[in-house]
Chain A
Amino acid sequence: MNLLLDGLLVLALLWSAWRALASPDLARAVVLFIVFGLLMALAWARLNAPDIALAEAAIGAGLTGALLLDALGRLQPGTGAPAPESPAQPPANRAGRRWTGSVALVAGLLAAALAYALFQLPAPTVRLPEQVAANMAASGVDHPVTAVLLNFRGYDTLLEVAVLLIALIGLLTLGPAAGRPAAPGPANPLLKALARLLVPLMILSAGYLLWAGAHRPGGAFQAGALLAAAAVLLHLAQLLPAWASPGRLLRLGLAGGFLIFLGVAAALLAEGALLTYPPAQAGGLILLIEAGLTVSLGLILAGLFLLFAGAEERP
């Protein structure tokens, strides 16, 4: 039964992806992409990976969708005007068609070869889940994904936060957007009321997600994404102005989480190696790092949307 459900979900996934890439209208493509994101969240749930489902919904579909819609808004003036027919398909002349055909053929062959190879795979020799379970006691948290994320492969996460920070710095390098200033519509009272109602709830659940991360799916990334969503909502309801280039305090907030993580990692060198949590304080340290990360990630992810978004308001 559930194989059938999975099959349907996979078909829906493929269809939405295909339509998102191939539809001539840009706005429809973006919306279909958001649908694809949500279907992906469902897929992760089916693969009993709740953490990823949360992250996919909040970041993959949510924030990326918001960024895409915002970029779309800048590319075409006015709201909802039919987007100019920018051809999704490449030029229709003969050379173009031959090129499209050959690329499609290569991609198809690659997919076929990979699919065929997937069925030939013997069982893997190394079984990491058992090792994770064996060392869970010493990891300081109960939830295996958080243990892997913050302890066993904590170094990956350190670099990943650096990636996020560097993306923001790259944004700052580019400076104010060149997009045409969209007319700031009158604040929609309904949206404003909804925002006032939802935002405290979102902040509360972000706190819960942070706390729950230690022993249930959740954690810093999902909590941070939620905070960012709250900020985006406030901005859309014009309760939160866009950010110009960040002042000293905002910069501290943006880089604070990373600096805490870095400081702890360096301090733990005294334990013998990078990020070696002493088993006793492991839980406490991880919570400290996660708290710092939640705030910083929230600010960074919000910054990706809000920085220079204000270029519109100023004439």
Chain B
Amino acid sequence: MNGLLDPLPWLILLPLAWASLAFLLGPGRGGRLALAGLAGQLALALWLARRLIEGGPVSHAVGGWGAPLGIDLYADGLSAVMLLLTQAVALPLAFYARAYFAQGAGQFWPLAGFLLAAMNALFLAADLFNLYVTLELLGLAAVGLVALGGGAEPSRAALRYLVVSLAASGAYLLGVALIYGSYGTVAIAPLTPLIAAQAPLAVGLAAGLMLLGLVAKSALFPFHFWLPPAHGGAPAPVSALLSALVVKAAFYLILRLWLGPFAPLTADWGWLPALAGAGAILWGSWQALRTPRLKQLVAWSTVAQLGYLFLIFPLFGLKEPALQAGTLQAVAHGLAKAAMFAAAGILLKATGRDAVDGLAGVAGRLPLTLFAFGLAGVTLMGLPPSAGFLAKWLLIDAALEQGLWPLVAIVLAGGLLAAAYVFRVLRQAFLLAPEAQQFHPVPRRLEWAAFGLAAASVLLGLRGVELMALLGIGVAP
């Protein structure tokens, strides 16, 4: 089939193109270019989804050489859902960023462009070493974005994030080296049948190193320490991009490896990520309840919500429902967290302070922003009618189906803790504003972008059938 009409390569080439052109145009420029590019990418993602539904998984041999020698791009239901999430979150955030960076965005557009290109490349990659290069591109772009704010504190947070990211990539790379040494190839498709349950020790160590590296990149408890300063200190559109999307990429990879090539090795290790997930939920929520700063609260909420994603690993006895629960939680959290960080950015701009108790009277002055924050909160709490609720429903259903009661208890406790820290903010906002409080005007477009994302996460709660149908494609029973 003629390569020009294949959405897979274009999903990677398009963001790379507009990112480098934005760089050419100079600092602060490239906003409109980005919007056009992102709209195109969303169309491509939708087109890919339709092709998957019609014809099943799609693969694209780069250079025409085919798997072991060349590198393949592969898209199944899971990658199509993640691609849709990435473009669906990036487009409104681009609108938001254009209005947010009123006085010139520095290198935001090229950095964001390369970040999104790396995300798309990662969701489509089917080669372990290619994934290493994509992870590095993603990590460096993310570090550049974190340091965008300038100043000592963001730079320190960015450096710590970079060091953790590089150490994790090093571990991942050693894993790839061991896999190549053992089997002579790093392409996932030919590798999967080769790895048997009683594979040599080197392969087991490789799997451990790679998964551990990815867990550090996805900021799962106890590797979460770098996330709150990095995401909390960065400008709002950057925090939204990082919390909603970047940490999901590492989670996606863990899922891909856990269910794919390393499935025989990881069969009965599901309890470990679930334990770490439970720790993340409890510790993240506890910190979110205590931090005085608004954006830190939202960042700690990311640490907690990530815990949910890892609760599905012991449930892979029944692969389909567990995968649905995890993916829906990732999509719901992606939309809601982007909306919440966007709303937090607006509140910070309006009140001039990054403090939770500085929000009194916001309900009166910025109703749309608070409504967006509230709706995003509803999704994070997993309350109906949001997509977060559907994910929670599927997770509890799968857990009860397999009799894992402690999992149910953790999910419920997490929901209540999320309610505690979301309403901690809403309670402040509903208080009457003290006279001294004056609000700086905020462009309306910012509010509508945040509201759009939050509404999407709720509306998805009413109609998840198509998404689940798309997800099911290519997932071996």
Asked if chains A and B are in direct contact (CB within 8 A), the reply is: yes
Select from chain B the residue with minimum beta-carbon distance to A113: B205
Judging by beta carbons under 8 Å apart, are B64 and A271 in contact? yes
Partner pick for A131 among B4, B13, B27, B68, CB 8 A cutoff: B68
- Scan A271-288; emit 1 where CB is below 8 A from any B CB, else 0: 111111100000000000
Please report the C-alpha to C-alpha distance between residue A254 and residue B134 in the assembled complex, in whole angstroms. 21
Please report the C-alpha to C-alpha distance between residue A268 and residue B9 in the assembled complex, in whole angstroms. 11
Give residues 1-58 of B contacting A (CB, 8 Å): 2-4, 6, 9, 13, 16-17, 20, 23-24, 26-27
Judging by beta carbons under 8 Å apart, are A166 and B114 in contact? yes
Partner pick for B130 among A131, A155, A276, CB 8 A cutoff: A155
By a CB distance below 8 angstroms, the chain A residues around B205 are 113-114, 117
By a CB distance below 8 angstroms, the chain B residues around A135 are 65, 69
By a CB distance below 8 angstroms, the chain A residues around B364 are none
Judging by beta carbons under 8 Å apart, are A275 and B20 in contact? no
By a CB distance below 8 angstroms, the chain A residues around B9 are 265-266, 269, 273-274
* B104 is an interface residue with CB less than 8 A from chain A: no
Give residues 302-324 of B contacting A (CB, 8 Å): none
* B350 is an interface residue with CB less than 8 A from chain A: no
Judging by beta carbons under 8 Å apart, are A274 and B16 in contact? no
Select from chain A the residue with minimum beta-carbon distance to B69: A131
Partner pick for A124 among B69, B136, B183, CB 8 A cutoff: B183
Judging by beta carbons under 8 Å apart, are A159 and B202 in contact? no
Select from chain A the residue with minimum beta-carbon distance to B180: A124
Which among A45-53, A56-64, A92-100, A170-178 touches the partner chain? A170-178
Which among B94-102, B140-148, B429-437 touches the partner chain? B140-148
Which among A4-12, A74-82, A146-154, A225-233 touches the partner chain? A146-154
By a CB distance below 8 angstroms, the chain B residues around A70 are none
Please report the C-alpha to C-alpha distance between residue A128 and residue B148 in the assembled complex, in whole angstroms. 43
- Scan B238-253; emit 1 where CB is below 8 A from any A CB, else 0: 0000000000000000
By a CB distance below 8 angstroms, the chain A residues around B65 are 135, 151-152
Shortest Cβ distance from A164 into chain B, in angstroms?
Answer: 9
- Scan B101-144; emit 1 where CB is below 8 A from any A CB, else 0: 00000110011001001100100000001100110110011011
- Scan B53-87; emit 1 where CB is below 8 A from any A CB, else 0: 00000001111110011110100000000000000
Which among A28-36, A197-205, A245-253 touches the partner chain? A245-253
Select from chain A the residue with minimum beta-carbon distance to B145: A173
Please report the C-alpha to C-alpha distance between residue A128 and residue B320 in the assembled complex, in whole angstroms. 35
* B150 is an interface residue with CB less than 8 A from chain A: yes
Provide the main secondary structure of the chain A interface.
helix
Give residues 114-170 of A contacting B (CB, 8 Å): 114, 116-118, 120-122, 124-128, 131-132, 135, 151-156, 158-160, 162-163, 165-167, 169-170
Which among A184-192, A255-263, A302-310 touches the partner chain? A255-263
**Number of B residues with CB within 8 Å of any CB on chain A:** 59
Select from chain B the residue with minimum beta-carbon distance to A118: B202
By a CB distance below 8 angstroms, the chain B residues around A152 are 63, 65, 69-70
Shortest Cβ distance from B360 into chain A, in angstroms?
Answer: 35
Partner pick for A272 among B2, B23, B71, B106, CB 8 A cutoff: B2
Judging by beta carbons under 8 Å apart, are A155 and B63 in contact? yes
By a CB distance below 8 angstroms, the chain A residues around B26 are 248, 251
Judging by beta carbons under 8 Å apart, are B111 and A170 in contact? yes
* A3 is an interface residue with CB less than 8 A from chain B: no
With A125-B183, A128-B68: A174-B147 Cβ-Cβ less than 8 Å: yes
Judging by beta carbons under 8 Å apart, are B3 and A270 in contact? yes
Shortest Cβ distance from A58 into chain B, in angstroms?
Answer: 20
- Scan B173-193; emit 1 where CB is below 8 A from any A CB, else 0: 010001001111100001000
Partner pick for B2 among A126, A162, A169, A270, CB 8 A cutoff: A270
By a CB distance below 8 angstroms, the chain B residues around A174 are 147, 150, 155
Shortest Cβ distance from B176 into chain A, in angstroms?
Answer: 12
By a CB distance below 8 angstroms, the chain B residues around A160 are 133
By a CB distance below 8 angstroms, the chain A residues around B60 are 273-274
With A152-B69, A163-B140, A251-B24: A128-B63 Cβ-Cβ less than 8 Å: no
Shortest Cβ distance from A106 into chain B, in angstroms?
Answer: 12
Q: Top 9 closest A-B pairs, CB basis?
A: A124-B184, A170-B144, A269-B3, A126-B184, A117-B202, A117-B201, A276-B64, A126-B185, A274-B9
- List the interface of chain B (C-beta within 8 A of A): 2-4, 6, 9, 13, 16-17, 20, 23-24, 26-27, 60-65, 68-71, 73, 106-107, 110-111, 114, 117-118, 121, 129-130, 133-134, 136-137, 140-141, 143-144, 147-148, 150, 155, 174, 178, 181-185, 190, 194, 200-202, 205
- List the interface of chain A (C-beta within 8 A of B): 113-114, 116-118, 120-122, 124-128, 131-132, 135, 151-156, 158-160, 162-163, 165-167, 169-170, 172-175, 245, 248, 251-252, 254-255, 258-259, 262, 265-266, 268-277
Give 26 CB contacts A-B under 8 Å: A114-B174, A120-B200, A127-B184, A153-B129, A154-B62, A159-B133, A159-B134, A162-B114, A163-B136, A165-B23, A166-B114, A166-B140, A169-B107, A170-B107, A170-B111, A173-B147, A175-B150, A251-B23, A252-B24, A255-B23, A269-B9, A271-B64, A273-B9, A274-B62, A275-B62, A276-B64
